[in-house]
Chains A and B, each alone.
Chain A
Amino acid sequence: MGCTCDDQQNLAQSLQNDTNTWTKLQDLLERFRGQRGSLVTVLQQVQDIYGYLPRPVMQHVAEVLRIKPAKVYGVATFYKQFRLTPMGKYVILLCQGTACHVNGSERLAEALCEELQISEGETTTDGLFTLSSAACLGCCSLAPVMMINGLAYGQLTPQKARQIVKELAEQEKGSLQEGGLQ
């Protein structure tokens, strides 16, 4: 693989050109400038803006908050919540907690990986789905459970899980076609 500096430069440029998110970022940093212990919170809100933590933005955060870039990067990679690559439109959080495990969550994982043709932690090439896992979603009584964009689906079987994902994909196709007609 060659050097990615150019890519990063291009990305940095295009991020700055998106004035909407860029102003939000500046406002955010302004609010937290000089507040001690705010790095985790700042990164959480940056992720709310972009859906992930783009590298040039982390660099920028470090400069504005006067923190070493290595520290920002260290915190970003320590916590599972932070993502360094863009996420799909639908984020599937598959529960891998104890109750879900004894109720067969591993077979759900297999089924979803096969249905989406990706492994855990990856995003489908059309940018629609990201498959991710969580330790416990707090609905163990409904095990096995998955959550898609904040909505929990309980008492799943591999077939049901596939079905839910299929329906979402269909829905997307439908709305794309509608969009095309307008």
Chain B
Amino acid sequence: MQLVRAHILVCGGTGCTSSGSKQVQDVLAKELEKHKLDKEVKIVETGCHGFCEMGPLVIVYPEGTFYVRVQAEDVPEIVEEHLLKGRIVTRLLYKAPVTEEQIPAYKEINFYKKQLRVALRNCGSINPEVIQEYIARGGYESLEKVLFEMTPEQVIDEIKRSGLRGRGGGGFPTGLKWEFCRRSPGDMKYIICNADEGDPGAFMDRSVLEGDPHSVIEGMAIGAYAIGAREGYIYCRAEYPLAIKRLKIAISQAEELGLLGENILGSGFSFDLHIKEGAGAFVCGEETALMASIEGRRGMPRVRPPFPAQSGLWGKPSNINNVETFANVPVIIKRGAEWFASMGTEKSKGTKVFALTGKVNNTGLVEVPMGITLREIIFDIGGGIVGGKKYKGVQIGGPSGGCIPAHLVDTPVDYESLIEAGAMMGSGGLVVMDETTCMVDLARFFLNFTQSESCGKCTPCREGTKRMLEILTRICNGQGVPEDIETLERLGRVIKSTALCGLGNTAPNPVLSTLRYFRHEYEAHIFEKRCPAHVCSALLVYSIDEEKCIGCGRCLRACPAGAITGEKKEPHKIDPEKCIKCGSCFEKCKQEAIIRS
């Protein structure tokens, strides 16, 4: 290998690409050449570092200097100052949200300090399109160890003892699942990776696939050996073109090196891996629906039993796990069950990746040990609420999850505690809310999502969610009636207990949990026709404060309904009859003269 003096990591994840990292990379290559540094300094395009909000990210090693929001114009300065003269370009460093202190090194930033990166161990540090970089970090050693030193039963036992539970939502013990499939009679078995990532607000699986595809492939190969499969599928949603591209590259590179395919490393074990692109249906994340979709049919769930371990893909015993679950497997084999089980809580071991978004200062992907409190995630890693507003709660687990209010901010994050609090780990979407988020609107949003994704096979889900959505929409429009709350609760309970699959079973959760903790907001909408967070537009009233108005006419020109009148330099007026409550005037006025109540 060629010796180089420095490495420059440029993030090539989806977030940074959209903020211009490709251009940064192009200019960087040109600048290095211009200064004849191209032999000494190596550019590495990496996957997502999780801090996409600050993208495009550029990290210079060996120092580990962390530059944020780098644009193509900034590149010459980085090359001339940092690489040639050894002076850090301070204006591009990350600034801590409250103290404004500039922090040069990656490891020192609060966002990363409390994280513990296991599943994301390589994301952002290696080039995902070069298998040698994965191997250089110990990649495929675990596969080799398993094939030559362990029996399938020993592998299953190791995973069982590690306490690894499914990261796709349910939290079922992975080792146990593998054992069921291993014991199921049949000569042909399948192993499947669920990369459908349907939760509208989670993107950790995408980042793992884009940033470290080999960890998933290695995990699947180990799983295949354990259950006795020789063929596998990765079911990836088509909305993730970059993930699919990198998976394809990774699979072909692994095949070339004999790490996939016939007689792997001469061990006698063979394993073929295929990619199937999903076609946009949330319900296909459910395991029986996913298998129907791989078979080329409409992805509708079916009754279980038989479980996939007995009769799955094409009627054969099959095992299905989530992306993050598989990414954990090689490290467990390498470092041992005891090491993995030393992280986390009694019943939830290891780490979990969360997609931290919403009204929080630092958004992005964070991997933390199980059992960490919400407070640590939101206030230490996330840096608190944007603009110093009041923290209201967090929505966790996406459309199957629920809201946890501010007073429970010390709830530990593990499977059991979250369910007790009325939420769910789900896929790990974590949306922080402040006083400007309306909980009724949020519940309506999730129900609208599940309702439109319901496959329609069973009545409670198909009809029940429709009724619930109608009621919620009515409440948001200011036409709620007192019985609505009770009806919602009754419908929710019925759907939960009678729907056929997990989509229906969990669809009422966002409504039920907001009713549990934020009932007063529902009541304000229904009884006082008021939206406390000023979100539900039908319940807002716009007027102009005559004292503050300077008669500039900006609002008048912006109003699409012609509802504003007034002479120049005189206070303006809004005609409530004509106003369609679009909010344009509110945004346009620079005097804060528009009152929204």
A91 on the interface (CB 8 Å rule)? no
Among B280, B363, B395, point to the contact of A141 (Cβ < 8 A).
Answer: B363
A82–B431 contact, CB under 8 A?
no
B286-303 contact mask (Cβ, 8 Å, vs A): 1 or 0: 000000011111110000
- Cβ-Cβ contact count across A and B, 8 Å cutoff: 128
In the complex, residue of chain B having the shortest beta-carbon distance to the beta carbon of A137: B239
Interchain CA distance A135-B203 in the complex, whole Å: 11
Stretch at the interface among B15-23, B88-96, B142-150, B252-260: B15-23
Given contacts A102-B433, A136-B202, A136-B203, contact A142 B52 (CB under 8 A): yes
Task: Pull 27 A–B residue pairs with CB atoms less than 8 Å apart, ordered by A.
Answer: A36-B296, A40-B277, A44-B277, A78-B281, A78-B298, A78-B299, A80-B279, A80-B281, A81-B280, A97-B201, A98-B398, A98-B445, A99-B363, A102-B359, A102-B431, A102-B437, A102-B442, A110-B582, A134-B239, A135-B198, A135-B282, A138-B14, A138-B15, A139-B203, A141-B51, A141-B357, A142-B19
Interchain CA distance A81-B349 in the complex, whole Å: 37
Chain A count of residues within 8 A CB distance of the other chain? 42
B357–A80 contact, CB under 8 A?
no
Interchain CA distance A166-B431 in the complex, whole Å: 32
Interchain CA distance A143-B449 in the complex, whole Å: 18
Give B residues with C-beta under 8 Å from A.
14-15, 17-19, 51-53, 197-203, 206, 238-241, 276-282, 293-299, 314, 355, 357-359, 363-364, 395, 398, 429, 431, 433, 437, 442, 445-446, 449, 455, 560, 582-583
A96 on the interface (CB 8 Å rule)? yes
Given contacts A81-B238, A81-B279, contact A98 B299 (CB under 8 A): no
A164 on the interface (CB 8 Å rule)? no
In the complex, residue of chain B having the shortest beta-carbon distance to the beta carbon of A98: B201
In the complex, residue of chain B having the shortest beta-carbon distance to the beta carbon of A143: B357
B276–A41 contact, CB under 8 A?
yes
A154–B279 contact, CB under 8 A?
no
In the complex, residue of chain A having the shortest beta-carbon distance to the beta carbon of B299: A78
- Most chain A beta carbons < 10 A, residue from B199, B437, B445: B445
Closest 8 CB pairs of A and B: A98-B201, A152-B18, A79-B279, A80-B280, A97-B200, A99-B357, A39-B296, A138-B203
A24 on the interface (CB 8 Å rule)? no
Cβ contacts under 8 Å, A138 to chain B? 14-15, 197, 203, 206, 239-240
A69-111 contact mask (Cβ, 8 Å, vs B): 1 or 0: 0010011001111100000000000001111011100010010
A128 on the interface (CB 8 Å rule)? no
The smallest beta-carbon distance between A161 and chain B, in angstroms, is: 13
- Most chain A beta carbons < 10 A, residue from B17, B279, B280, B355: B279
In the complex, residue of chain A having the shortest beta-carbon distance to the beta carbon of B52: A141
B279–A136 contact, CB under 8 A?
no
Among A40, A143, A152, point to the contact of B279 (Cβ < 8 A).
Answer: A40
Among B18, B296, B445, point to the contact of A139 (Cβ < 8 A).
Answer: B18
Interchain CA distance A139-B363 in the complex, whole Å: 10
A36–B295 contact, CB under 8 A?
yes
B445–A152 contact, CB under 8 A?
no
Cβ contacts under 8 Å, A134 to chain B? 239
Interchain CA distance A148-B299 in the complex, whole Å: 28
A37 on the interface (CB 8 Å rule)? yes
A140 on the interface (CB 8 Å rule)? yes
A102–B358 contact, CB under 8 A?
yes
Among B51, B279, B293, B429, point to the contact of A82 (Cβ < 8 A).
Answer: B279
Cβ contacts under 8 Å, A151 to chain B? 18
Cβ contacts under 8 Å, B199 to chain A? 136
- Most chain B beta carbons < 10 A, residue from A74, A80, A135: A135
Cβ contacts under 8 Å, A110 to chain B? 582
Interchain CA distance A39-B276 in the complex, whole Å: 11
A149-167 contact mask (Cβ, 8 Å, vs B): 1 or 0: 0111110000000000000
In the complex, residue of chain B having the shortest beta-carbon distance to the beta carbon of A134: B239
A6-41 contact mask (Cβ, 8 Å, vs B): 1 or 0: 000000000000000000000000000000111111
The smallest beta-carbon distance between A111 and chain B, in angstroms, is: 9
In the complex, residue of chain A having the shortest beta-carbon distance to the beta carbon of B429: A98
In the complex, residue of chain A having the shortest beta-carbon distance to the beta carbon of B433: A102
Cβ contacts under 8 Å, B282 to chain A? 135
Cβ contacts under 8 Å, A37 to chain B? 294-296, 314
In the complex, residue of chain A having the shortest beta-carbon distance to the beta carbon of B438: A102
Q: Which of A35-55 contact B (CB under 8 A)?
A: 36-41, 43-44
Cβ contacts under 8 Å, B51 to chain A? 141
In the complex, residue of chain A having the shortest beta-carbon distance to the beta carbon of B279: A79
Interchain CA distance A142-B18 in the complex, whole Å: 9
Interchain CA distance A39-B310 in the complex, whole Å: 25
The smallest beta-carbon distance between B73 and chain A, in angstroms, is: 19
B295–A44 contact, CB under 8 A?
no
In the complex, residue of chain A having the shortest beta-carbon distance to the beta carbon of B50: A141
B241–A139 contact, CB under 8 A?
no
Given contacts A102-B442, A143-B357, contact A74 B298 (CB under 8 A): yes
A38–B363 contact, CB under 8 A?
no
Interchain CA distance A154-B297 in the complex, whole Å: 35
A141–B15 contact, CB under 8 A?
yes
Cβ contacts under 8 Å, A78 to chain B? 281, 298-299, 455
Cβ contacts under 8 Å, B277 to chain A? 40-41, 44
B449–A135 contact, CB under 8 A?
yes
The smallest beta-carbon distance between A97 and chain B, in angstroms, is: 4
Cβ contacts under 8 Å, A74 to chain B? 298
Cβ contacts under 8 Å, A75 to chain B? 296-298
Cβ contacts under 8 Å, B14 to chain A? 137-139, 152
In the complex, residue of chain A having the shortest beta-carbon distance to the beta carbon of B364: A141
Given contacts A78-B455, A99-B357, 15 further A-B contacts (CB under 8 A): A39-B296, A40-B277, A40-B296, A41-B296, A44-B238, A79-B279, A80-B281, A82-B279, A102-B431, A136-B199, A136-B202, A137-B239, A141-B51, A152-B15, A152-B17
B280–A40 contact, CB under 8 A?
no
A140–B363 contact, CB under 8 A?
yes
Interchain CA distance A36-B316 in the complex, whole Å: 15
Interchain CA distance A110-B358 in the complex, whole Å: 21
B18–A40 contact, CB under 8 A?
no
- Most chain A beta carbons < 10 A, residue from B51, B199, B357: B357
The smallest beta-carbon distance between B218 and chain A, in angstroms, is: 23
In the complex, residue of chain A having the shortest beta-carbon distance to the beta carbon of B358: A102
A40–B395 contact, CB under 8 A?
no
The smallest beta-carbon distance between A151 and chain B, in angstroms, is: 7
